[in-house]
Structure 1
Amino acid sequence: MAGLGRSNVSMPSLFSSAFSFPRKFTVCLGSFNGVIFFGDGPYNFLSFNMDISKSLIYTPLILNPVSIGSGRVSFEGDPSPDYFIGVTGISINEKPVALNKTLLSIDKQGNGGTMISTVVPYTIMQTSIYEAVVRAFTKELPKAQRVRPVAPFSACFNTKGIGISRLGPRVPIIDLQLPNKVAWRIFGFNSMVKVKDDVLCLGFLDGGFKATTSIMIRGHQLEDNLLQFDLAASTLWFSSSLLFRQTTCANFNFSCLKHYTKTGLS
């Protein structure tokens, strides 16, 4: 386990102080292995002969002024050490999903908003958001028969009629809309989970009506996405799926690094 939160005692802050490199870290998690980098790039992949940091998209990191939940290293009155981004809406196949957008903002008690977390595998959404997403997703997938749910998922489909591409199952594209007309695009590889030979489930979970955080983007949706957290600039740089570039987090080219700390994950 590694503490990577927004605090002065987290690994990114301590390494930055000890080795005098930028207060940044980058996470690239794969299905079987991945990497974490402390400091800056370059980020080259074996099958992608280019520094991918040149084509990353960015969005501000938002500071939640209230530390929420249990088990976090913080003190009363401190801001949250977690990473929040400003999702402003959700689209499926580029069609906006009707939802209560007040839930996407963080209130004075620290509730609401969108957090990035790797604690558990699947993204959690407040009930009204989740139900709206499932309705819109199902409407855009008319040729796939809805089947009995397989726990912990509630929206499952027969694979008949769902094709496969290098980006995973051919299902509706989910966009998390961000400020400045930026979107975090989620393709089938990150949106669907194969639970049986003939059943795929939408890999999002219902977090309940009283969910403290409205959206928590988690492990499965982060796989083979490169995320750079620039703590000094309070900015998240992200790639969306590396599969779109015909590579994965497991294909990183370490020979391009000379003076940067690197840690392999397995």
Structure 2
Amino acid sequence: MMLKGRRPIFLVLVILFSNIIHFSSMVMVVAVRMELIHRHSPKLNNMPMMSEVERMKELLHNDIIRQNKRRGRRLRQTNNNNNNGASGSAIEMPLQAGRDYGTGMYFVEIKVGTPSQKLRLIVDTGSEFSWISCRYHCGPSCTKKGTIAGSRRRVFKADLSSSFKTIPCSSDMCKSEFARLFSLTFCPTPTSPCAYDYRYADGSAAKGIFGKERVTIGLENGGKTRIEEVVMGCSDTIQGQIFAEADGVLGLSYDKYSFAQKVTNGSTFARGKFAYCLVDHLSHKNVSNYLIFGEESKRMRMRMRYTLLGLIGPDYGVSVKGISIGGVMLNIPSQVWDFNRGGGTAFDSGTTLTFLAEPAYKPVVAALEMSLSRYQRLKRDAPFEYCFNSTGFDESSVPKLVFHFADGARFEPHTKSYIIRVAHGIRCLGFVSATWPGASAIGNIMQQNYFWEFDLLKDRLGFAPSTCAT
């Protein structure tokens, strides 16, 4: 699932860190390790059991909502003028994913406030705004209000935190900067907290007040690091079953107040970069993937390829030139990839499958169907147009698919990333047709087993094949 202002929620990854960092036991920066919990993890005992096909149906439903919100957006450069290039070690956080959890939405547990309170947040690289289930000036009812039936959602008690600060509704930050985050004009007194009504495309919503708070994260060596004055919503009214198992949302998109921007703009070690690697979505839970802020390893850097990185709204975008299959460039109109002519391509870790605008989708599916004709095609009530009986399936019989970027770089996803398993003995083409005109989107299954580095200083996306294992 996916999250975003007037958009849905979903996926993958997570990071935390900030420009104000404290160390409890050492001077050097060490890796931060946080477990990433998938929505279908057995650790979330209240989640209903779902078959693989049912899970994919649910994920696609939310993918479609997210994809529809990209229509009409245009690519622009990141224009990040951050020159803070001080030395320091990268922060590395292994992320748990795989077969035992399924694919899609992930959670991370963080500690918020002083003294700290533990919360489980949905991680979304497509959300500009972070918020938590929270009560402010509520007295003894803090733990009793606003929960969804059957939910174990925890509630942050703002009154008990000495580091929680509200943002006045009379401030320029509330009236101007937070307008895009759906702040309300209601301001009974100059010191009243700035309020918001954050709506999602699927009908979900979060209402509350803007605040600033401290976030505490454990370090690999047993110490702790604190992120000071993080802008975070205190939501006392939450609508939508999607939030039943979450205590809030951690927003990581390209926005001034996202966690990603806080790290890359302010830290002495990130140098304008963050990176992640997603293991095979069918991996077992003992296999980790990771997210990094700072320099990638020298070994990885030697194998990296780079392409232009831009923005489609707050989403990250790439400049695709075309797609080839088996070494043959497909006949796809150039405007499909042109951000200025109704097309373009988002690079989205918050979308599971890969969406292709209709003029690209049809030739891609047609070319791949030819190599799959030997297998029995299945008619299924599933989110995919083309599925087949995969008994005896040989990946080497499928021609290689390649995304060609406008600056000459080539992304060659693994065959399992576009001929994907959706159930035992069943595989499907991992593409969904997107409305044209409209943007395409490279989803997280297509990205698996690659290391991806977002360099916001140089406006480029680096990538290299990787096992993603720590």
Query: Is this a same-fold pair by TM over 0.5?
Result: yes
* Mapped partners of 2:276, 2:447: distance in 1: 9
Equivalent position to 2:262, from 14, 26, 30: 14
1:209 alignment partner in structure 2: 436
Query: Which residue type is aligned with residue 276 of structure 2?
Result: V
1:193 alignment partner in structure 2: 420
Equivalent position to 1:175, from 395, 402, 406: 402
Give CA deviations for 1:25-81 in whole Å, capped at 9, x if unaligned.
Answer: 0011223542111121227xxxxxxx21211110011344xxxxxxxxxxxxxxx22
Are 1:113 and 2:344 counterparts?
yes
1:4 alignment partner in structure 2: 252
Structure-2 change in CA distance of 1:149 and 1:97 (3 Å): farther
CA contact under 8 A between 2:371 and 2:397: conserved in structure 1? no
Give CA deviations for 1:138-169 in whole Å, capped at 9, x if unaligned.
Answer: 123443343324510111122245215xxxx7
Instruction: Give the Å deviation of 1:180.
Output: 3.6
CA contact under 8 A between 2:320 and 2:337: conserved in structure 1? yes
Equivalent position to 1:58, from 303, 306, 331: 306
Are 1:36 and 2:284 counterparts?
no
Query: Which residue type is aligned with residue 155 of structure 1?
Result: Y
CA contact under 8 A between 1:143 and 1:161: conserved in structure 2? no
Query: Which residue type is aligned with residue 6 of structure 1?
Result: Y
Alignment of 1:220-231 (within 5 A): 220-231=445-456
* Mapped partners of 1:19, 1:209: distance in 2: 41
Give CA deviations for 1:168-190 in whole Å, capped at 9, x if unaligned.
Answer: x7522110111243211022121
Query: Which residue type is aligned with residue 458 of structure 2?
Result: A
1:260 alignment partner in structure 2: none
Unpaired runs of 5+ residues, structure 1, are 44-50, 65-79, 243-247, 253-266
Structure-2 change in CA distance of 1:54 and 1:192 (3 Å): same
Alignment of 1:159-170 (within 5 A): 159-164=390-395, 170=397
Structure-2 change in CA distance of 1:177 and 1:220 (3 Å): same
* Mapped partners of 1:40, 1:117: distance in 2: 22
CA contact under 8 A between 1:170 and 1:188: conserved in structure 2? no
Structure-2 change in CA distance of 1:172 and 1:157 (3 Å): farther
1:70 alignment partner in structure 2: none
Where 1:98 maps in the other structure, the secondary structure is coil
1:81 alignment partner in structure 2: 314
Identity %: 26
Instruction: Give the Å deviation of 1:127.
Output: 1.9
Query: Which residue type is aligned with residue 333 of structure 2?
Result: N
Instruction: Give the Å deviation of 1:11.
Output: 2.0
Equivalent position to 1:104, from 337, 340, 355: 337
Query: Which residue type is aligned with residue 321 of structure 2?
Result: T
Deviates more, 1:98-107 or 1:11-20: 11-20
* Mapped partners of 2:251, 2:330: distance in 1: 35
Instruction: Give the Å deviation of 1:93.
Output: 1.0
Deviates more, 1:146-155 or 1:184-193: 146-155
* Mapped partners of 1:154, 1:228: distance in 2: 32
TM-score (norm 2): 0.43
* Mapped partners of 2:412, 2:381: distance in 1: 25
CA contact under 8 A between 1:90 and 1:176: conserved in structure 2? yes
2:460 alignment partner in structure 1: 235
Q: Which has the higher contact order (CA 8 A, sep 6+)?
A: 1
CA contact under 8 A between 2:352 and 2:443: conserved in structure 1? yes
CA contact under 8 A between 1:171 and 1:187: conserved in structure 2? no
Structure-2 change in CA distance of 1:102 and 1:18 (3 Å): closer
Unpaired runs of 5+ residues, structure 2, are 1-122, 124-249
* Mapped partners of 2:381, 2:430: distance in 1: 11
Are 1:219 and 2:434 counterparts?
no
Query: Which residue type is aligned with residue 346 of structure 2?
Result: M
2:275 alignment partner in structure 1: 26
Are 1:148 and 2:366 counterparts?
no
CA contact under 8 A between 2:308 and 2:407: conserved in structure 1? no
Instruction: Give the Å deviation of 1:4.
Output: 2.9
Structure-2 change in CA distance of 1:150 and 1:186 (3 Å): farther
Q: How many residues align?
A: 215
Query: Which residue type is aligned with residue 56 of structure 1?
Result: M
CA contact under 8 A between 1:93 and 1:140: conserved in structure 2? no
* Mapped partners of 2:263, 2:310: distance in 1: 23
TM-score (norm 1): 0.73
Query: Which residue type is aligned with residue 363 of structure 2?
Result: A
CA contact under 8 A between 2:264 and 2:274: conserved in structure 1? no
Are 1:94 and 2:305 counterparts?
no
Deviates more, 1:220-229 or 1:1-10: 1-10
CA contact under 8 A between 1:12 and 1:23: conserved in structure 2? no
Structure-2 change in CA distance of 1:219 and 1:148 (3 Å): same
Structure-2 change in CA distance of 1:154 and 1:102 (3 Å): same
